[in-house]
Structure 1
């Protein structure tokens, strides 16, 4: 039984903090850093994860240290959403992202995804997943959510997300709905600046809050806050993470959420370049947050610890307020038997992993969506074909570090015996002119665009080529909204993410005459 009365003030403050670090092992410096400040929880990023055996050893050594320092096991958290926000590449299955799952149309699949993902996370010593995204993506120019969402229908988002939550938590991993009260209708990325939303409560009740309400009813254990200023919800001019009116007034009191409130990274510029991370951490606790993510730098983690300790000593935050959050944290750690982590480590069989990978491949293949077809999308060696695409790159701070950079253009061209060209995210006019001239020599042009609504010169390229060669197949390699820039093309497909798995599925769909398209758009174009 975890007893709050056995914890010092320093240990209690450590329980509120979720820290990230660099490197792939528990170094002497990291060990001393955790000892000194009694840090109670960890977040993993791709930079920490090399492979199964290494991850298991890292989790084991961190748990042993945190238990020794605090007498309480650690939440080990991760953003393993699937798709473009995937942290584990070696040692876990690469699952498609949320919009890909939604395109297949069956929430039973997200339940299975949750179960399979939970088993794999526990196998590696990870007990707390910062997923699913509950944001309703109703802004085609959203730079950070997009395909991380299940779509633009709040009830559909709720349906798919709740099944994922049920699957994940049924196997003993904590699920986290994010980003409260909704990051779907922004055109600014809070990693880099403070987004502002002016919607009324009535509008939020109809759209953004629907998935959060359903997730709470489904028993979700944690909800992550957004660093967004909701002008018409607060009188304090604080972003949601720092606002008592949103965290306590709306989330706790109005929606009745009794689980853990965890912040998005407090080092994101929406906070760091405003109130500042340390002051922001104090205000987030005052607002009602239970866990604070300090994801990157040791110096900032120390500043936050000191700021919280000083706030209690000076009476800005009462120790009773700290106790409220610590009691929730301890009870959740007991409920999910975090102390029994060793019983899960390295327990998944090769056959079980193969089953998960087969499932992911099946979903990916089914998700490929043929949005528009006025001529055949099939590519064959009989046609002289030029394939053009960008390379896969991380587009924002939430995206995974891409482990493989094999391009759609090269892989498809190799498959059909065609030629290929790789373009940048932005295409200069000189290059557009050159490619248009080149396109006249081919029977068919296939162009893979990558968030062309942001990098609009890609759309210009498609339109200019179409003027000279009408046999164009356009493929959105991430956001399906790309077609808004080149709506006249005769064939348009979308795969919802630019990963090796999705590219393999696209190529299969485009080269296999017997393939039947079953994917449906989860957003309105």
Structure 2
């Protein structure tokens, strides 16, 4: 390979629609960029995704001589890029709450098989962060839980499932993004813990994943003063990547960066400079996920750094050799005719079985509290449905579709009235909602991170005082349910989705437009 081809193997980028645009194709043809990342806007259906992957494999191999890594963040729940006709895992925290390791393995294997059938060969999951800070704005339900043991056990099954399906996976975000109150998409978080504390908590899931052969680890854009005394994020720190991860923890797989266009890098250091420093520090794959111009500028800066000696050619060669080693195993070519290929089975029958498994698994994950002696709420003639529109609480999540909502879904199912609230309702909004309760027969309120939005929490408390039959649904973090009176029906749903609202409505409400009995068999649990 010449230098252009080598640098192209180190870069992962994307494009804005369901087909590659000219800017992306120029990066492939002129700069030999050899890898792709998909977001939800790239994937419209399973068949379209399969055709897109086949097209990308063909053009990238033609221009670079090597098949691409085609990557995606398919964590499940709130971070899922797969289309509606695919089987999607519950959020990691929901999986951890259920505690059924065999289902985590089987669900992850199904996701891996689905991705591989489409031509996606690299899943940027699982999350190995411990959500030890409930007010974490970016991790939350993406984590398997609040302690190292649970996260390690659950993540191990996810890794096994992905690898047994024959795709790459990457544990993220090393050395841990759970105990922060800053989203690295928007700022630069700092984990200000001692080495002893980090080794007893944050590092344990990564150590466990390394011991079982995880092929890749994603580096976080966080400051870690215990190991890096300069104000250098882990992504750009040789002390963290080479010293801690490679030498101390003995990790020999691919080291990949989180997106270098996130503000933690772009705002404080600049993406091109950050890309150079990440490679110098020991990273192998550099993600610059969105902007073609930024990719081009970063490639040019990497070339200059090689030319002036800031990056040794041996470092470039080391990264390329490691990438090619894993591509030889995981970047398999798709056959020309997807429909005729039994190994790339996109049949509805198989999909239906996979989706049923995921729906059954999700049903086991959710938490329901029913007041003593109560089984369901009779919606009555005038139920009131209150909740926010779907909200993108972190840039890690997909764009939200406001044609679907908690309030409208339940109103369509049971009738009554709906009332939409903002993420942090004002006193005026709360007053308007309370006026709506005057003549209602029952109340349901949905929340998104009410534990971090005082207005939502206040609204729930005030609604509970009305004495009307009432249910509260936590549509993301279950912490929203803390402090709610035991007399209120409660549901921790972990995601704002149609399957979540379907389960909520069937398990808690009955009425003339709804089901007369619950067929799911879910029993109430004492804690979430």
For Structure 1 versus Structure 2, the TM-score category normalised by the shorter chain is: over 0.9
| Whole-angstrom CA distance in 2 between matches of 1:245 and 1:91 | 44
Kindly report which structure 2 residues correspond to 1:126-141, keeping only aligned pairs within 5 A, or say none.
Answer: 126-141=120-135
| Greater shift in the superposed pair: 129-138 or 429-438 | 429-438
**Change beyond 3 A, Cα 1:475–1:28:** closer
Q: Which residue of 2 aligns with 1:196?
A: 190
Kindly report which structure 2 residues correspond to 1:223-234, keeping only aligned pairs within 5 A, or say none.
Answer: 223-234=217-228
Kindly report which structure 2 residues correspond to 1:7-156, keeping only aligned pairs within 5 A, or say none.
Answer: 7-156=1-150
**Change beyond 3 A, Cα 1:490–1:30:** closer
Q: TM-score, normalised by structure 1?
A: 0.93
Counterpart of 1:342 in 2: which secondary structure? coil
Which residue of 307, 329, 340 corresponds with 2:333? 340
**Change beyond 3 A, Cα 1:29–1:269:** closer
Counterpart of 1:157 in 2: which secondary structure? helix
Could you report, residue by residue, the CA deviation over 1:284-340 in whole angstroms, capped at 9, with x for unpaired residues? Answer: 01111000000010110001101111111111111001111111100001122x143
Could you report, residue by residue, the CA deviation over 1:379-414 in whole angstroms, capped at 9, with x for unpaired residues? Answer: 224475322111212221001223574222232344
**What's the offset of the Cα at 1:179?**
0.5
Q: Which residue of 2 aligns with 1:402?
A: 400
**What's the offset of the Cα at 1:252?**
0.7
Counterpart of 1:317 in 2: which secondary structure? coil
| Greater RCO (Cα-Cα under 8 Å, separation 6 or more) | 1
| Whole-angstrom CA distance in 2 between matches of 1:403 and 1:89 | 13
Kindly report which structure 2 residues correspond to 1:73-472, keeping only aligned pairs within 5 A, or say none.
Answer: 73-336=67-330, 338-342=331-335, 345=338, 347-348=344-345, 349-371=347-369, 373-374=371-372, 376=374, 378-382=376-380, 384-403=382-401, 405-469=403-467, 471-472=469-470
| Greater shift in the superposed pair: 383-392 or 225-234 | 383-392
Counterpart of 1:496 in 2: which secondary structure? coil
Counterpart of 1:373 in 2: which secondary structure? coil
Q: Which residue of 1 aligns with 2:514?
A: none
| Whole-angstrom CA distance in 2 between matches of 1:106 and 1:404 | 33
Q: Which residue of 1 aligns with 2:512?
A: none
**Change beyond 3 A, Cα 1:434–1:488:** farther
**Change beyond 3 A, Cα 1:133–1:341:** same
| Whole-angstrom CA distance in 2 between matches of 1:278 and 1:215 | 31
Q: Which residue of 2 aligns with 1:4?
A: none
**What's the offset of the Cα at 1:518?**
4.8
| Whole-angstrom CA distance in 1 between matches of 2:96 and 2:413 | 29
**What's the offset of the Cα at 1:502?**
1.4
Q: TM-score, normalised by structure 2?
A: 0.93
Counterpart of 2:168 in 1: which secondary structure? coil
| Whole-angstrom CA distance in 2 between matches of 1:521 and 1:41 | 47
| Whole-angstrom CA distance in 1 between matches of 2:98 and 2:262 | 34
**What's the offset of the Cα at 1:486?**
4.1
Q: Which residue of 2 aligns with 1:3?
A: none
| Whole-angstrom CA distance in 2 between matches of 1:470 and 1:87 | 39
| Greater shift in the superposed pair: 284-293 or 226-235 | 226-235
| Whole-angstrom CA distance in 2 between matches of 1:487 and 1:202 | 39
| Whole-angstrom CA distance in 1 between matches of 2:471 and 2:141 | 21
Counterpart of 2:116 in 1: which secondary structure? helix
**Change beyond 3 A, Cα 1:103–1:383:** farther
| Whole-angstrom CA distance in 1 between matches of 2:308 and 2:487 | 65
| Whole-angstrom CA distance in 2 between matches of 1:162 and 1:229 | 26
Q: Which residue of 2 aligns with 1:491?
A: 489
| Whole-angstrom CA distance in 2 between matches of 1:156 and 1:519 | 22
**What's the offset of the Cα at 1:98?**
0.9
**What's the offset of the Cα at 1:415?**
3.1
Could you report, residue by residue, the CA deviation over 1:413-441 in whole angstroms, capped at 9, with x for unpaired residues? Answer: 44334432222212121121122233232
| Greater shift in the superposed pair: 489-498 or 15-24 | 489-498
Unpaired stretches in structure 1, ≥5 consecutive residues: 1-6
**Change beyond 3 A, Cα 1:489–1:306:** farther
| Whole-angstrom CA distance in 2 between matches of 1:322 and 1:313 | 12
Could you report, residue by residue, the CA deviation over 1:259-306 in whole angstroms, capped at 9, with x for unpaired residues? Answer: 000000000000001111101111101111000000010110001101
**Change beyond 3 A, Cα 1:182–1:32:** same
| Whole-angstrom CA distance in 1 between matches of 2:171 and 2:524 | 25
* RMSD of equivalent CA atoms: 2.1
| Whole-angstrom CA distance in 1 between matches of 2:527 and 2:463 | 29
**Change beyond 3 A, Cα 1:149–1:20:** same
| Whole-angstrom CA distance in 1 between matches of 2:122 and 2:202 | 24
**Change beyond 3 A, Cα 1:468–1:136:** same
**Change beyond 3 A, Cα 1:439–1:61:** same
Could you report, residue by residue, the CA deviation over 1:426-482 in whole angstroms, capped at 9, with x for unpaired residues? Answer: 212112112223323234322111111222201111112223326432211110111
In the comparison of the two structures, how many residue pairs are matched? 516
